[in-house]
């Protein structure tokens, strides 16, 4: 064991510092209230909200507002709001499964039974069902968009930021500029 500038070194230890000395050299700083409540260094917030049912009879469908806020440099827009149908979420999931190396979480169920005729409720357009689906879609998109590899996928950027999804787009990666 040797001593250098007041720090003990152990010649047999490959890191040359005694364990208690190794942790002592970490500088700690008390967190202030400003630090605790300041905007995080990197954030990505996505809300699925404001469901609206359009059309009549067999041509009815529900879409949802997808709002995104982020300060991540990978995103072109720092805030966006688009409207998406369940089928758009299905499209995003299939694109990610096809073109990325990530495990894509499942979507909330398709609810085939709710589409059967002669039901005593509104089926797919029942308010409770729409709210449950909205929560499931929000969980899905937050899991997907929170994955660092998915954040580079062009289809995710289009889904979150472009008013109209160009399904003839060329798949690829987004690079930080």
Among residues 45, 159, 24, 17, the alpha carbon closest in space to that of 96 is found at 159
pLDDT for 8 equals 53
CATH of the domain at 107: 3.30.1520.10
**Residue 110 phi/psi, 5° resolution?**
-75, -20
Residue 120 within any structural domain of the chain: yes
Length of the chain: 177
> What's the pTM?
0.72
Residue 46 within any structural domain of the chain: yes
pLDDT for 11 equals 55
Q: Return the SS3 of 123.
A: helix
Among residues 105, 106, 95, 84, the alpha carbon closest in space to that of 161 is found at 84
Q: How do residues 102-155 score in pLDDT, each as one tens digit?
A: 899 999 877 544 444 554 555 667 788 889 999 999 999 999 999 999 999 999
Per-residue pLDDT, averaged over 24-48, amounts to 78
Residue 8 within any structural domain of the chain: no
Residue 175 within any structural domain of the chain: no
Residue 15 within any structural domain of the chain: no
Domain of residue 53: give its range. 33-161
Number of domains the chain is built from: 1
């Amino acid at each position: 064991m040797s001593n250098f500038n007041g720090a003990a070194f152990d010649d047999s230890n490959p890191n040359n510092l005694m364990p208690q000395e190794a942790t002592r050299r970490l500088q700690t700083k008390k967190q202030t209230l400003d630090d605790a409540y300041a905007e995080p260094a990197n954030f990505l917030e996505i809300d699925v909200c404001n469901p609206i049912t359009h059309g009549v009879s067999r041509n009815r469908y529900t879409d949802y507002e997808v709002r995104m806020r982020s300060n991540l440099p990978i995103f072109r827009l720092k805030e966006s709001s688009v409207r998406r149908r369940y089928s758009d979420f299905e499209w995003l999931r299939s694109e990610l499964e096809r073109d990325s190396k990530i495990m894509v979480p499942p979507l909330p169920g398709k609810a085939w039974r709710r589409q059967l005729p002669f039901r005593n409720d509104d089926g797919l357009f029942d308010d409770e069902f729409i709210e449950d689906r909205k929560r499931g879609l929000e969980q899905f998109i937050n899991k997907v968009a929170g994955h660092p590899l998915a954040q580079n996928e062009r289809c995710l950027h289009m889904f979150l930021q472009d008013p109209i999804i160009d399904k003839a787009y060329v798949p690829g990666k987004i690079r930080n500029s």
